[in-house]
Each structure stands twice: as C-alpha cells, then as structure tokens.
Amino acid sequence: MKFHRFQAEAWLSDAQVIAMIGGGSAGKTTFGSFWMMREAEAVEDEYLITVETKNIANQSTLPRFLKLSEELGWGSYLSGKSEFRVRKNGSVIYVRTLDHPRLKEKVIEGIPARAVWMDEAGLSTSKAWKLARARGTMKAGRLLLTTKAYLTNWLYQDLVRKAGRIMLPDGSFRLNPDGFQNYFALCFTSLENPKFSRAEYDKAMKEMDPADFAVHFGGQFVVLRGRVYQIVRTIPREKIPAAFDDVVGGVDWGSTNPAALTVLGVKDGLTYQVAEFEQSYLGIDELFEIAKDFTAQWRVRKWFADPSEPTNIKYFNDHALECEGADGSSGYAISRVRGRMTAGRLFIAEDLKASIDYLESYHYPDDGGSKPVKKDDHLPNSLGSAVTGIESPEAASGTLNDDSVRESMTNSPTRETRWQNIIERPRSLLRR
C-alpha cells in the first residue's frame, strides 16, 4: 500500500490521539484498516472499532476492512459476535455500532481496548468520544479517528482546536504550544487520493452548495445552515458564580427517547447552565431521583417541564418537587433562549459537552419550516423550558465580556475563505 502524504504522516506519528479529517474517498477507511491491524498484530490483546450506525458499518467500514483482510490474510470475522480474530497472534478486534436502540454509545463500556479506531467519528456524540478515549487509555493505548469534517461539534472544539500539531489541507503544519502535544489532527481534501477524479472534484465544486462541498470533498469544518441558535456561548466552570439569585430546572420527558434535565442559575441578570442529564429508557421514578439530586445540589426553586405529560408533572409535585408545564420547543421558549444568548446573558458551562453539541446542531429543516428538526433536541428543549421559568427581568443590563468565553456563530463564508474563517478562532494559538 502506497500512502498519500497525509496517510504517511499519520502512519509515522507516535501521537496517542490521531484525527484524520478528510473528504469523501480520501482513503480514511483504508488507512484505518491498516492502522488497526498494525496495532492488533503488535501486541496480543483486545481492540475496538466503533462506527456510528449499522448502515455505515455494513456499507463502508466492514466491507473495506474485510476485503483487505481477505487479500492480506489478516484473520477471520465472526459476524454473530461482531468480532475479528487476528491470525498472527490471536488478538480480538471488537466491532461495535453506536446506534443500539437502548444502549447507544454504552455498548462499548467494559471493553479495555489497547487501541480504538472510531470511523466517521464526527457523527458520534461527545459521550461516545469520552467512552472511546476511556477504553483506549485504560492500557495507555492509542486512538484513531477517521471522519469527514461535518459540524463544529466536539471533534472540532475538543480535538482539532486543542491538538498540539495540525496538518492543514495545503500540506503545511501548525503547532499549538498550549494544546495537547499527544493530539495530532490532519485535514485534507478528496484530491489526496490519486485515483480521485479532478474533473469530478471541480464539477462538484461548481454544482454543490459550498458548505456541502466543504464537508464532502474539502475536509473543512462548516457551521450548520439554519441553526436555531446562531450564538452558543460557553464559559469555564471556574468563572461561574458560587451562589445564585435564582435556580430553575427544565425537563424534557422521554421513554424510549432520551429524557433530559437542565439546571440554570441566575446571578445579577446573567444566566448560567450548570448541569445536564440525558438518558433513554428511564421510568418517571428514576428521572425523579435525578431531579431530586439536582434540586439538593443546586437548590432548584422550581422545575419547568414539557406539558405533554401531565401525569409526570403531577408525580413531581406529589413527591415534593414543584413543577409546572412549559413547552421548551415553542417559539416563545426559543426566542427567550436566543435573546439571552445574543445579548450575552446566557452561558453554558464548557464541560457540559452534550448540551453544547446539541445546541450547535439544533436546526431548522432545509425546506424552510418554522419548527426545528426533531433530532437530538431533548437537551435544547429542556433548556427552553427552564428559561421560561426565569423571573429575572428580560431587560437585565450587562454582558459578560471575558476572553475565556467562547462563542460559536453561524456566518456564511464564501467557498474560498471557509477554511480560513473556521480556523480563525484558534489561529492565534497556532504557529508554524
């Protein structure tokens, strides 16, 4: 196998975490297959491949991996167990998809893998990233992430921005002396694959929406069009006040879908999200216990909940947690959240990764519908419900101006400047 320059750099890297972010057909899955087999053949142990959905696993990751295995005699795949047995030394490679209807990303818990490969990692949640990182680091192992760029979610915020070394699409390197020196990120276009047609690339550039082209062929991060919240402000936990004038909670009920809780504290007209919770398959009694713990920890005055489940609201009230209905997905709730964020009066603790990811991906449909797309909306809805319960004046003055506060904004840069714009925020940290 002759690697292109980005594959070669990743192959030679001794970084503990490597993120290969490239356009379609740029050789990410092929590289991941070789990388995982090299790790598994080096030491007899357990290894892990994660893929966001069964469709991606069955249509892309596994066919490529197994085709190479057949050609090169790597071993055998036990489809019933979703395990690959390495012929050379008996290592086991577990293959897990993260769309299990009940467990989702928890399917990888309990696997102490020496190395982990996350294919199409940008589609996975921050929870999956944390779990995969924990699986790999239990044995001081390594992690490889292969993916298109997709959104500026945890992949961009927690890995690319914080990588000690970045290889940009033009082949240049930028170093981040304040970043994690064991993180290496590489961003490259589909044209790095010598078999990829330049004519098809140029045709796609002319015909496709610039944002779609950047993701699918350019290896470039873009902001989501039609985002509900154009600004999502985050703040370090240590910058949040120790005490509040008022504390409220928001609830989005769930069963097979996740239930979600959000806790907001208000101080001097500014609002801070200090806690989050999201989990599927919870009974009302189990969710109540979580809300009860949050109430004791944060001194929540009152809970505001999705009004579609009046029996659940009654359960909270009957068990001494004051609760009333408030539709967090309504235009009214969304406008209140948007107004506070835009005015610099609502901040999300930067360690609440799920809330940040979902707020940044919460969007309206492409056909211009007025209702947000109902996908990963449980935490945004619980935030909306909580905000409706805040009694501090809407016209509260003052904003928090601090370099530690991060803003995520949806601008619409041109195709020629999109990479420059999206990398602009960490550019001050990066040096050749």
Q: What is the pLDDT of residues 178-218, one digit of tens each?
A: 999 999 999 999 999 999 999 999 999 988 878 778 888 99
pLDDT for 417 beyond 60: no
The answer to whether 99 and 125 have CB atoms below 8 angstroms apart is no
The answer to whether 83 and 130 have CB atoms below 8 angstroms apart is no
Query: Residues spanned by CATH 3.40.50.300 within the chain?
Result: 5-223+419-427
The answer to whether 67 and 179 have CB atoms below 8 angstroms apart is no
Predicted local distance difference test score (pLDDT) of residue 252: 96
Q: How far apart are the first and last CA of the chain?
A: 30
Neighbour order of strands in the sheet with 46-51: 75-78, 83-86, 92-97, 46-51, 115-119, 142-147, 17-22, 180-188, 163-167, 173-175
Predicted local distance difference test score (pLDDT) of residue 256: 80
**Going by CATH, does the domain composed of 5-223+419-427 fall within 3.40.630.30?**
no
Strand partners, 202: none
231-409: what CATH class?
A: alpha beta
pLDDT digits (tens, 9 = 90+) for 60-97: 999 999 999 999 999 999 999 999 999 999 999 999 99
Provide mean pLDDT across the span 33-44: 97
Residue located via tokens 């047609």: 197
Predicted local distance difference test score (pLDDT) of residue 82: 95
Q: How confident is residue 373, by pLDDT bands cut at 50, 70 and 90?
A: confident
Which residues have a Cβ under 8 Å from the Cβ of 126 and sit 6 or more positions away?
153, 154, 158, 353, 354, 356, 357
How far is residue 354's CA from residue 230's CA, in Å, rounded to a whole number?
A: 17
pLDDT for 292 beyond 60: yes
Predicted local distance difference test score (pLDDT) of residue 304: 96
Q: How confident is residue 224, by pLDDT bands cut at 50, 70 and 90?
A: low
Strand, coil or helix: what is 135? helix
pLDDT for 301 beyond 90: yes
Provide mean pLDDT across the span 226-246: 92
How far is residue 425's CA from residue 348's CA, in Å, rounded to a whole number?
A: 18
pLDDT for 414 beyond 60: no
What's the longest Cα–Cα distance across the chain? Answer: 69
Predicted local distance difference test score (pLDDT) of residue 408: 52
pLDDT digits (tens, 9 = 90+) for 251-273: 999 878 899 999 999 999 999 99
Q: What is the DSSP letter of 106?
A: G
Predicted local distance difference test score (pLDDT) of residue 395: 32
Predicted local distance difference test score (pLDDT) of residue 259: 95
- Of residues 125, 151, 256, the one with CA closest to residue 211: 151
pLDDT for 244 beyond 90: yes
Q: What percent of the chain is predicted at pLDDT more than 70?
A: 87
Higher pLDDT, 109 or 304: 304
Predicted local distance difference test score (pLDDT) of residue 57: 93
Provide mean pLDDT across the span 104-130: 89
Query: Residues spanned by CATH 3.30.420.280 within the chain?
Result: 231-409
Q: How far is CA 425 from the centre of its chain?
A: 18
Provide mean pLDDT across the span 211-227: 82
pLDDT digits (tens, 9 = 90+) for 89-99: 999 999 999 88
pLDDT digits (tens, 9 = 90+) for 232-241: 999 999 999 9
Residue type, 238: E
Backbone angles phi, psi at 302, to 5 degrees: -160, 150
The answer to whether 241 and 267 have CB atoms below 8 angstroms apart is yes
Predicted local distance difference test score (pLDDT) of residue 397: 37
Q: What is the DSSP letter of 431?
A: B
- Of residues 99, 52, 175, 184, the one with CA closest to residue 429: 175
How far is residue 135's CA from residue 112's CA, in Å, rounded to a whole number?
A: 5
Least confident interval from 170-174, 351-355, 379-383, 396-400 = 396-400
Q: In terms of C-beta density within 10 A (0-12 exposed, 13-18 middle, 19 or more buried), how is residue 109 classed?
A: exposed
Dihedral (CA of 43, 46, 52, 56) sign: positive
The phi-psi region of residue 25 (left if phi > 0; otherwise alpha if psi is between -120 and 50; otherwise beta) is left
Residue type, 396: A
Least confident interval from 150-154, 235-239, 329-333, 421-425 = 421-425
Average pLDDT, the chain: 86
Tokens representing residue 200 in the block: 């098809």
pLDDT for 287 beyond 50: yes
The answer to whether 339 and 228 have CB atoms below 8 angstroms apart is no
